[in-house]
A and B are shown apart, each in its own frame.
Chain A
Amino acid sequence: MLALDFPKINEILRWQDIFPSFNKIALIAVLAAVIGSGIFLLAGSKDSSVAPTGIRNLAEIIVEFIEESVVMQTMGKKGLKWTPFLLSLFVFIYLCNVPGIIPLFQMPATARIAIPLFLSLLVWIVFIGTGLKHQKGAYFGHLLWPPGVPIALKPLVGLIEFFSTIIVRPLSLTVRLFANMLAGHILLVTFALLSEAMFQAKTHQPFLNIGGILPFFMLVFLTGFEVLVGFLQAYIFAILTAVYIGTSIEGHGDEANEAHAH
């Protein structure tokens, strides 16, 4: 049997401080913020009257992607003013996810719960604030009861809706992003360690050493898969934010009226 000591969970997630109270996670988060805003500031300073080239091209592709496949699909035309918020969420989360597969970093900053939790609390405040701004006090009524609920059911439905909107929404946003990135990180560590241990095995000499190629291929495949997951999680976070803000703007009642109007 191949004895393999898997490191404790803290060894693969907790990093030494580079200088007091600033470790690799913080470094990645700061880099993500700086690079993200740097790209768009640079692109914004280019002349907008000529055909876009280089960095402006990249920035326009990202903006268009957010407009086409996040905002227009969920909030429609009147949601376009939310593009900057969703764009910065998407770019920041993506740039925090992607170091998970970049050599030397090898750690997604979102695999620690702090960043996902903070971001989803931010989204939580934003969508409740938007609801209060657009629907005033009626927002809480809309939030608790969808239109057409019989009076007898109101306490039960209200309780369920309260939990699902106020508590489960931020919690599931957090856990979805955090657990996906953590699972990916642990998978990569597992296969990297397994292939290393098999390559260096002293027992069953030729078989184990040659067989080490199999987990190595799995590692390469999973690295490619993580590229996809990092993008997809950022996209899903942005799209769910858009859906939550969209329901805050419209409310249940307006939706029903709109359906009649069409």
Chain B
Amino acid sequence: MEAMSHLVKAAGATTSTPTELKAQAAASSAGFAYGLAAIGPGIGIGYLVGKSVEAMARQPEAAGMVRTTMFLGIAFTEALALIGFVVFILIGL
């Protein structure tokens, strides 16, 4: 991972060229890109699964339908986090 070596360089270096500066900025923002993208979906999936468990406990006979809908909802919510992950790879590696 080049990003790591750029970060290490940034910690010790005093002068750096514009390309190095750009690489350092990319290296330090890559982590933020994924971290920020994971906040929303994290809350969303937690809420979604919690509500689904509630629904399944209330009406065990509807568990199959609730589970399918839950997976659908998770798939849509998770996509946001995954796009963040792809961005992380694109700018970080």
B71 at the A/B interface (Cβ < 8 Å)? yes
Q: Contact flags (1/0) for B52-93 with A, using CB distance below 8 Å?
A: 000000000000110110011011101100110110010001
The binding surface of chain B is classed by DSSP as helix
A225 at the A/B interface (Cβ < 8 Å)? no
Docked pose: A74 CA to B65 CA in angstroms: 9
Which of B2, B65, B78, B93 contacts A73 (CB under 8 A)? B65
Q: Which chain A residues border B72 with CB–CB below 8 Å?
A: 236, 239-240, 243
Q: Which chain B residues border A235 with CB–CB below 8 Å?
A: 71
A259 at the A/B interface (Cβ < 8 Å)? no
Contact indicator A73/B64 (Cβ below 8 Å): yes
Q: Contact flags (1/0) for A204-239 with B, using CB distance below 8 Å?
A: 000000000000000000000000000010011001
Contact indicator B68/A175 (Cβ below 8 Å): no
B43 at the A/B interface (Cβ < 8 Å)? no
Docked pose: A174 CA to B18 CA in angstroms: 35
Number of B residues contacting the other chain (C-beta, 8 Å)? 20
> A179 with B75: in contact, given A6-B1, A73-B68, A239-B68 (CB under 8 Å)?
no
Contact indicator A179/B82 (Cβ below 8 Å): yes
B52 to chain A, nearest CB (A): 14
Chain A residue at minimal CB-CB distance from B83: A175
> A74 with B68: in contact, given A6-B4, A9-B93 (CB under 8 Å)?
yes
A23 at the A/B interface (Cβ < 8 Å)? no
Contact indicator B89/A9 (Cβ below 8 Å): yes
Q: Contact flags (1/0) for A182-208 with B, using CB distance below 8 Å?
A: 110000000000000000000000000
> A8 with B85: in contact, given A172-B79, A243-B72 (CB under 8 Å)?
no
On B, residues with C-beta under 8 Å from A are: 1-2, 4, 64-65, 67-68, 71-72, 74-76, 78-79, 82-83, 85-86, 89, 93
